[in-house]
Structure 1
Amino acid sequence: MNILHLSDTHSQHRRLTQLPDADILIHSGDFTMNGSEQEAIDFMNWFCDLPYSHKIFICGNHDACLYEAKIDGLDENVHYLCNSSVVIDGVKFYGVPMFMEDCISDRQTRNYVAIPADTDVLITHCPPYGILDFDDGINYGSAELLARVEEIKPRLHLFGHIHKQHGVKKDGLTIFSNGAIMNGDYTNFNLPNLIKI
């Protein structure tokens, strides 16, 4: 199974042409810049039209308009994950968004604890602490998320958020992918991460 991973497109998704072939396209959040409904609708229209067998997306901290939203009308092969899962060809994908309302309470910690132990591909917006999360002298990842990842050992953990740490790293049984597509100063695109599991 080939997975194409994007994150942090920040309303520049229509500039992404000639994306590589893959079985599943996954966007791990921050598809808007200002968190407006118009940006979110434009992204979903673009995303649904892409020629991939399955497409999965979650929300990042910029995608505030979708906090507690119920999304209807997506194509059957497009999956919005919000502390929820989908199984595709026997592989369990689980997505945890990053809404600021959850981060300033204990809800985000509870969301991480609730990640199912049988998750094969974990999709979050926030990185785990110490893994592709370093910028300006600070590790921005979540220690609670790292602890849960170490417990469940998913085959793949996809995230974004920290633009300067775009890349892929294998640690133990898990492949980690920071798919932040916009570079650190939002001027150019990084190449999307293509991962085989």
Structure 2
Amino acid sequence: MRILAVADTESEYIWDHFDASRFEGVDLIISCGDIKSQYLSFLTTMIKAPLFYVHGNHDTGYATNPPEGCDSIEDRLVEYKGLRIVGLGGSIKYNDHPYHSVPPWQYTEKQMARRIRRLERKIWIKKGFDILVTHAPAYGISDDKDLCHTGFQCFVPFLDKYRPRLMIHGHMHRKYGKAPRSIVYNDTLVVDAFGYYLLDI
């Protein structure tokens, strides 16, 4: 299966100069957050593939203007063409969000660990999962040292326990061009989806 992963910034190459031939064979689009809803709707329309998304810490606008034609996989396990996909968006809590009428998409470690526990029964029934889609990275694997970009510690035992084939995240902007696109952690390929990236699984 060919996947187009996107996160954090809209590609001018795609949006302003769309070339359908570049995305032939794409079966699924995955957004890891902090992307304009109009851009996601554009992608699923032009590429004609389903689009699954989780929220980034800046996606508060989705509350009133969600991406049309796209499916949120927040706190869900979904199956697509035989792949079991888990979605857990948001970042570590780093400030007090000024707007109380919309979700801030920031979580403490305890809150994120609770979200994982709520998924455990579904994961057990499906005998694991293949792809973990998040906005924030896992602690100590592909995160940074500042509070905003610290990864979730609870993601690490989650990966250790289920060993999915793939984890796709955003939030890091590839540390502004200085970080690798992907690394391998145990049996899991961990991919930073900043901008856009095509991968096969």
Q: TM-score, structure 2 length as denominator?
A: 0.72
User: Is 1:43 matched with 2:39?
Assistant: yes
Distance 1:92 1:70, change over 3 A: farther
Contact 2:77 2:84 survives alignment (8 Å): yes
Matching residue's letter, 1:95: G
Report the alpha carbon displacement of residue 105 of structure 1 after superposing the two structures with TM: 7.8
Residue by residue over 1:132-179, the C-alpha shift from the partner in whole angstroms, topping out at 9 and shown as x without a partner, is 223679972111111211111111101010111461112221111111
User: Is 1:27 matched with 2:31?
Assistant: yes
**Counterpart secondary structure, 2:190:** strand
Contact 2:54 2:72 survives alignment (8 Å): yes
Contact 2:8 2:34 survives alignment (8 Å): yes
Greater percentage in helix? 2
Contact 1:132 1:167 survives alignment (8 Å): no
Question: Which residue is equivalent to 2:169?
Answer: 159
Contact 1:158 1:176 survives alignment (8 Å): yes
Report the alpha carbon displacement of residue 107 of structure 1 after superposing the two structures with TM: 2.4
Among residues 59, 62, 86, which one is paired with 1:94 in the alignment? Answer: 86
Distance in 2 between residues matched to 1:16 and 1:83, nearest whole Å: 34
CA-based RMSD: 3.0
| Paired positions, count | 175
Question: Which residue is equivalent to 2:154?
Answer: 144
Contact 1:135 1:162 survives alignment (8 Å): no
Unaligned runs of 5+ in 1: 33-39, 182-191
Distance in 2 between residues matched to 1:180 and 1:16, nearest whole Å: 19
Matches within 5 A, 1:5-154: 5-9=5-9, 14-15=15-16, 17-18=18-19, 20-21=23-24, 22-32=26-36, 40=37, 42-66=38-62, 74-75=68-69, 78-98=70-90, 100=104, 102-104=106-108, 106-115=110-119, 116=123, 118-134=128-144, 140-154=150-164
User: Is 1:173 matched with 2:187?
Assistant: yes
Matching residue's letter, 1:61: N
For the pair shown, the structure with the greater C-alpha radius of gyration is 2
Unaligned runs of 5+ in 2: 91-102
Q: TM-score, structure 1 length as denominator?
A: 0.74
Distance 1:81 1:153, change over 3 A: same
Greater displacement, 157-166 / 129-138: 129-138
Matching residue's letter, 1:173: D
Report the alpha carbon displacement of residue 63 of structure 1 after superposing the two structures with TM: 0.4
Greater displacement, 139-148 / 47-56: 47-56
